């Protein structure tokens, strides 16, 4: 174990390894398609999947190299686990049969399946010294980013005439259906946030 953090080096090494894998997966599509006129780097980084995986890579690398133990960092860890869980759940339920620019099967599997599992497993299996307890404030804090992302997408969409996901595109479904869908998603995300906070708290209590 590391003398300062107490986290086994095996876990820290795995964090670094998956962080590097995430970098490769995130860079693959832009590097392969940047020369094509139809490819938009702005659109690419406007996917929630890409943004959440960028955050995941940063959290994994920092966690592997430095492994901070303060409470603020644990809030960031929990938030990242939540965002990757959202990525995995939304993909499995709403997007598995839809083209979301990730046509390479292995890239798709890494960003939509492997990374969510890794971040949630890391949150559960490597508890922190400072427990993050479930509270309405914590859940609200974690949900700020998905809300900002939704607003950003709906503002940017009409400007560039492009939306990253069908369920965020009002052109075909109309704004009433869009609003209902967003309310349902917000409720689901809230439940996932509660689950992440609860599981993380229980994991901490099992630590001697």
Round to whole Å and give the CA distance between 53 and 86: 11
Which residues are within 8 A (CB) of 198 and not within 5 positions of it... i.e. 6 or more apart?
134
Element (H, E) at 86: helix 71-90
pLDDT at residue 59 in the model: 98
pLDDT at residue 208 in the model: 43
Round to whole Å and give the CA distance between 181 and 32: 34
pLDDT at residue 2 in the model: 47
List average pLDDT for each run of 10 residues in the chain, which is 208 residues long.
Answer: 69 97 94 80 95 98 94 95 97 80 81 97 86 91 98 97 94 95 97 93 52
pLDDT at residue 177 in the model: 97
Q: At what angle do helices 170-205 and 71-90 cross, to 10 degrees?
A: 130
- Identify the three-state secondary structure at position 18: helix
pLDDT at residue 180 in the model: 97
The residue ranges of every structural domain in the chain are: 9-205
- Identify the three-state secondary structure at position 25: helix
pLDDT at residue 5 in the model: 62
- Tokens found for residue 182: 């967003």
- Does the pTM surpass 0.75? The reply is yes
pLDDT at residue 201 in the model: 65
Round to whole Å and give the CA distance between 186 and 203: 26
Round to whole Å and give the CA distance between 188 and 190: 5
The backbone region for 150, taken as left when phi is positive above 0, alpha when psi lies in -120 to 50, beta otherwise, is alpha
Which residues are within 8 A (CB) of 40 and not within 5 positions of it... i.e. 6 or more apart?
162
pLDDT at residue 1 in the model: 46
Which residues are within 8 A (CB) of 102 and not within 5 positions of it... i.e. 6 or more apart?
29, 49, 108, 111, 112
């Amino acid at each position: 174990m590391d003398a300062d953090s107490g986290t086994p080096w095996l876990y820290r090494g795995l964090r670094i390894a998956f962080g590097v894998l995430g970098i490769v997966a995130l860079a693959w599509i832009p590097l392969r398609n940047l020369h094509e006129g139809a490819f938009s780097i702005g659109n690419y980084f406007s996917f929630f999947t890409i943004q959440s995986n960028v955050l995941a890579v940063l959290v994994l690398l920092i966690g592997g190299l430095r492994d901070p133990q303060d409470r603020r960092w644990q809030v960031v860890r929990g938030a990242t686990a939540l965002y990757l869980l959202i990525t995995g759940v939304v993909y499995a339920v709403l997007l598995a049969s839809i083209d979301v620019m990730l046509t390479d099967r292995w890239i798709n599997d890494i960003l939509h399946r492997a990374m969510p599992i890794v971040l949630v497993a890391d949150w559960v299996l490597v508890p922190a010294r400072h427990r993050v307890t479930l509270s309405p404030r914590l859940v609200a804090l974690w949900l700020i980013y998905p809300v900002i992302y939704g607003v950003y997408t709906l503002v940017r969409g009409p400007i560039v005439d492009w939306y990253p996901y069908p369920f965020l595109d009002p052109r075909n479904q109309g704004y009433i259906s869009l609003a209902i869908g967003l309310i349902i998603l917000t409720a689901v995300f809230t439940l996932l946030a509660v689950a992440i906070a609860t599981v993380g708290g229980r994991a901490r209590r099992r630590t001697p």
